[in-house]
């Protein structure tokens, strides 16, 4: 289809990757389901280098049988119910989970190494009681190899 751009098209120049976690809804049910809503940003001057490094990590973890083959992206937590529906046992998922801390550390190291800046913010939806929600900014990490703790 002319004009349609592939999601994985190589991009030259500065890029900001954005990812979120949690339900953004502010209804009582949404707040009970997920109290926090987090958004993270990675500023990158060479996105193809970052993407290739993370894909290489994922491929290695698949080859070493440390990460489910059905997952084609790195996740902070395994989507257990989806994987169980696909035939994974609880024991198999437990095996994968023991590798997750090391995989997370490697992925965060790559992001801090290849990215120019990492930013994040978390919204505590339980603090919204009619007024404006309170947002805590996680801050900025520039080429740091440690996890940013979001308060």
Whether 7 has a pLDDT exceeding 60, the answer reads: no
67, with CB counted inside 10 A (0-12, 13-18, 19+), is: buried
DSSP secondary structure of 13-24 = S-EEEEEEES--
pLDDT, tens only, 110-125 = 999 999 988 999 988 8
Least confident of 8-17, 56-65, 126-135: 126-135
pLDDT, tens only, 51-80 = 999 999 999 999 999 999 999 999 888 999
Using DSSP, state whether 137 is helix, strand or coil: strand
pLDDT score recorded for residue 32: 81
Mean pLDDT for all residues in the chain: 81
pLDDT score recorded for residue 66: 97
pLDDT score recorded for residue 3: 53
The domain limits of the chain are 15-141
How confident is residue 9, by pLDDT bands cut at 50, 70 and 90? Answer: low
How confident is residue 150, by pLDDT bands cut at 50, 70 and 90? Answer: very low
**Nearest-10 crossing angle of helices 90-114, 47-63:** 150
pTM of this structure:
0.69
CA distance 78 to 18: 20
Whether 96 has a pLDDT exceeding 90, the answer reads: yes
pLDDT score recorded for residue 78: 92
């Amino acid at each position: 289809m002319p004009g349609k751009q592939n999601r994985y098209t190589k991009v030259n120049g500065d890029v900001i990757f954005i990812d979120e976690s949690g339900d953004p809804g502010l209804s009582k049910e949404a707040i009970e389901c997920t109290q926090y809503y987090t958004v993270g940003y990675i500023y990158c001057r060479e996105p193809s280098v970052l993407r290739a490094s993370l894909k290489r990590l994922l491929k290695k973890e698949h080859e070493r049988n440390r990460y489910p083959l059905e997952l084609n992206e790195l996740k902070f937590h395994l989507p257990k119910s989806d994987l169980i529906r696909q035939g994974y046992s609880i024991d198999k998922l437990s095996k994968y989970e023991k590798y997750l801390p090391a995989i997370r550390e490697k992925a965060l190291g790559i992001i801090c190494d290849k990215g120019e800046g990492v930013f994040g913010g978390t919204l505590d939806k339980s603090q919204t009681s009619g007024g404006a929600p309170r947002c805590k900014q996680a801050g900025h990490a520039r080429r740091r190899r440690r996890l940013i703790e979001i308060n």
